[in-house]
Each structure stands twice: as C-alpha cells, then as structure tokens.
Amino acid sequence: MAAPNTPKAKAERLLNLTMSLLSSRIPLPKQRIRQLVEAYRSVESDEAFDRMFERDKDDLRAMGIPLVTEEIGVFEDELGYRIDRRDYDLPPIELTAQELAVVGLASRAWAHAAMAGTAATAWRKVAAGDELSEDPFIGLEPHLGSGESAFEPLKDAVLTAATVRFDYARAGEGKPGPRHVEPWYLTAWHGRWYLVGHDLDRAASRVFRLSRVTSTVTTTGESATQVVPEDLDPVSMIAATDGREPPSSAAVLRVRVGTGHVLRRRATAVADIDEQWDRVDVDHGDPTAFAAEIASHGPDVVVEEPTALRAAVIDRLEAVVSAHQEAPA
C-alpha cells in the first residue's frame, strides 16, 4: 500500500524523521532511517523511497534544520545522516524589558478568548525570571475575540487536518447552504475570523467568515487529501474576498483622553472638549459591529450621535451588567 502524502501525513513523517535523527548519537544510513520511520516502511519500492527521502531532506533544510551528511562506510562509500544538536537547539531568548512588555501585551489579546490558557502558558514561559514593567502600555487593553461557536471545532479540524461539514450563509443570500471543506488556515482579519480551505463540492479553495456559519460544525471522519498550495497566502485571499461594508455612516464620539487609540486612527476629525475628553468623528459601515466595538471600550467612549447607535451601545452595556448581576456568586 502506498504511503499517504496528505499535509498531515507529511508533517508526521518529517517530525518522525527529525526525532529519529536527533535521538541518534551517530550518523544513520539511509536504510536504517527507512526502518525507523514508519511512513518510509510502507513505501512500496526503493525508487519511491529515494524520491520521498530526497524531498524530505530538502524540506528539513528549507525549514532551517541542520541536516548533516557524512561518509560512514569502511571504504567511505556509504552516507549517513544526522542533525547537529549544537546547531539545532535554540539559544536562550534575550528580550529587553520593553520587548517583554510588548509580548505580554500581545498575550493579553487572548485573555478572554478561547485560547486564553495557551496564551497564558506561553507567556509564563517567556517571562519566567524577569521583572516586567508595563508602564508604557497602561490604558491599553487589546482583545482578540473568538466568540463564534464555530471557532473551537474549526480550530481542532485545522490542527488535525479533519474534513468538516457546516451550513454557510453567503453575503446577500437569504438561505444558508451546506459546505464540505478541508480546512487549511484559521485567520483573524480586521476583528473577524475566517477559515481558508478547500471546498470539496466546488473543487476550489474558498474563504468562509465564521460569523456566517449557521450550523454546528461536524467532522466527517475523512482525512484531508488536498495538498495545501505552497504559494497560498490566506491573508491575501481574505482581503480579496472580504465583504465588509464600506464606511457609509458618520458617528460623533466622546473619547476619554489617552484611550480609544484605534478609533482615533480611523477618525475623520478630532477636537478637544476639555482636559478629560476629546470629540472624535468616525465613519463606519456595519452598525451592529461598530456598536460592539464601541461597547468594548466601556466607560472610555460615549456616543453623542446618532441616537440609534447610542441606543445600541447602551443595550449592549446593560446586557453585560445584567449578566453579571444574574451570575451566581
């Protein structure tokens, strides 16, 4: 039976090859490597194995792994392969206090999202033993939401290369339709999450916005079969298909001094009100999304106009207060 060459199978094969070469104190001949790496054992012919092994060597070197070739035969007519640990192991990461503070700020973007635990663990490892100062970032509270119910199952599907099914509502279409997808990338773009993958029913790569997934995401039990194109750029694909509404409405906001930096960067005009507040004029598209963005600033941003936007923000803030009051102590 031929060895599978899906993205998942290839990643596992390269990982097993790396571990085998790292664990050996002496260079390994090619036939010994074939015995150690399970995926190589299932290759039917010597010629196919040679081609696969040559590609895998090139891939490891392209990833920066120091794969060394040495002559090991008695008459120096046989080659062996090893990975030099001295070149493979990363040196200690040295960050300045300012750089550590920036990394900590980035980790806080996930503080209230689905991967909060993973981000916190990574941050503790980076920051271990260092005294940090976040004084330059006081007042900044980044956030990276993942509130869509589709996020977790799609994240797992991407990591395991599992094919999925879900219903999806395209922009401008009233009725959602089924999708059968091999997921490749899960990417955040301008505050929204997108899935980039191969649509099996349409036999083409597609972009799906998670907020438009209308059903439960289910795995089919099928492994991915499509090879991810080497030149695939998920961000460029998302940017080319992003259906965000262009700014069509104007809002007048009262923003506390020293806050609302993202809103200020998009402002068409900024004027002083007093020592505590500035007037910030911002154009926006989707009013629901903009109301959610303003509400995330809490008491630091107040909507002056229009009244409909002001009411939408107040409704969101009151819902948050109500949820906290109803939560058990």
Domain with CATH 1.10.10.10 in the chain: 7-88
Residues of 87-100 as b/e, b for ≥16 C-beta within 10 angstroms?
eeeeeeeeeeeeeb
Q: Contacts for 50-59 with beta carbons within 8 Å, 24 or more apart? A: 52/3, 56/13, 56/14, 56/17, 57/81, 59/14
The tokens for 164 are 């999925």
Residues 6+ apart with CB under 8 A from 21: 28, 33, 67, 81, 82, 83
Torsion from C-alpha of 34, 36, 41, 45, nearest 10 degrees: 10
Separation of alpha carbons 245 and 283, rounded Å? 11
Give the three-state DSSP class for 79: strand
- Tens of pLDDT along the chain (329 residues) come to 455 567 778 888 999 999 999 888 889 999 999 999 999 998 889 999 999 999 999 999 988 888 988 887 665 578 899 988 888 887 777 777 777 666 666 666 555 455 555 655 665 555 555 555 454 444 455 555 556 788 889 988 998 889 999 999 887 666 889 999 999 998 887 767 899 999 999 999 999 998 889 999 999 988 778 888 888 888 888 888 865 556 678 999 999 998 888 888 888 999 999 999 999 999 887 787 788 889 888 899 999 999 999 999 999 888 888 877 765 55
Identify the CA nearest to 211 among candidates 147, 163, 153.
147
**Class level of CATH domain 151-241:** mainly beta
Asked if 160 and 215 touch (Cβ cutoff 8 Å), the reply is no
Four-way CATH pick for 7-88: 2.130.10.10, 1.20.58.1880, 1.10.10.10, 2.40.10.220 = 1.10.10.10
Asked if 196 and 237 touch (Cβ cutoff 8 Å), the reply is yes
- Whole-prediction pTM: 0.45
CATH number corresponding to 249-326 = 3.30.70
CA angle 19, 23, 24 (to 5 degrees): 125
Domain with CATH 3.30.70 in the chain: 249-326
Domain with CATH 2.30.30 in the chain: 151-241
Separation of alpha carbons 169 and 148, rounded Å? 14
What is the maximal distance between C-alpha atoms in the chain? 87
